[in-house]
Amino acid sequence: MRLEPTRIASEWHALIPAAAGGALPLLDAVERVLVDARVPELRWSETTLRTWHFLPRPGVPALAIRHRNLREWVVCIGVKRTGAYLAVEWYLLARPTWLGDLRRLLQVWTSTKERETVGSELDAHRRAQIGYLVALTREAVRQAIADFAGQSGGTRRARRRRRA
């Protein structure tokens, strides 16, 4: 899957210590959290995120999460190792389809800018579903990070600072 900056609607990043594992155990933990959520409209698959560069670069292992009723929206969760840390990337991507473009084009009562914007045709119910998808996937990543840190022994107590 190609990650284009113009298609990113929202993004979130985190760095976690990588004591014992790599990217795949964390993605497996995200999948377990999504399975435990029991949302039948969600579908996900493993993919590789690639950026739009002239030179070939290694891809980032990721999960692509789709909602059955939101065909033009994809949540991608990527994890890559950077030194002693794992960089967790969360993206909400707009992936326009020709049917969605046609639906927006036929809305003659809206302005030209609204007809060119992905998501402008959504009603309140569909916008709420996007909000639920965003909240669910972000919480899945947070729980997976907590589980991953607990398994690898990466939980550290915060030291209190002494006042001088």
Domain ranges of the chain: 2-152
pLDDT at 112: 62
Answer for the pair 120, 105: CB distance below 8 angstroms, yes or no: no
DSSP-assigned letter for residue 134: H
- Phi/psi at 69 (5° precision): -90, -5
CATH architecture of the domain covering 2-152: 2-Layer Sandwich (3.30)
**Cα-only R_g, the chain:** 19
pLDDT at 127: 84
State the pLDDT confidence band at 10, using cuts at 50, 70 and 90.
confident
Task: Say how far apart CA 47 and CA 3 lie, in whole Å.
Answer: 11
- Phi/psi at 7 (5° precision): -100, 0
pLDDT digits 0-9 by tens, 65-116: 999 988 888 999 999 888 888 889 999 988 776 666 566 566 666 666 555 5
Task: Say how far apart CA 32 and CA 29 lie, in whole Å.
Answer: 5
Task: Say how far apart CA 95 and CA 74 lie, in whole Å.
Answer: 7
* Cα torsion 37, 142, 44, 84: sign: negative
Region of 119 (left: φ > 0; alpha: ψ -120 to 50; beta: rest) is: left
Task: Say how far apart CA 48 and CA 17 lie, in whole Å.
Answer: 22
Higher pLDDT, 53 or 59: 59
Nearest Cα to Cα of residue 30 among 64, 60, 7, 59: 64
pLDDT at 163: 47
pLDDT digits 0-9 by tens, 126-155: 888 889 999 999 999 999 988 877 765 544
pLDDT above 70 covers a percentage of the chain that reads: 67
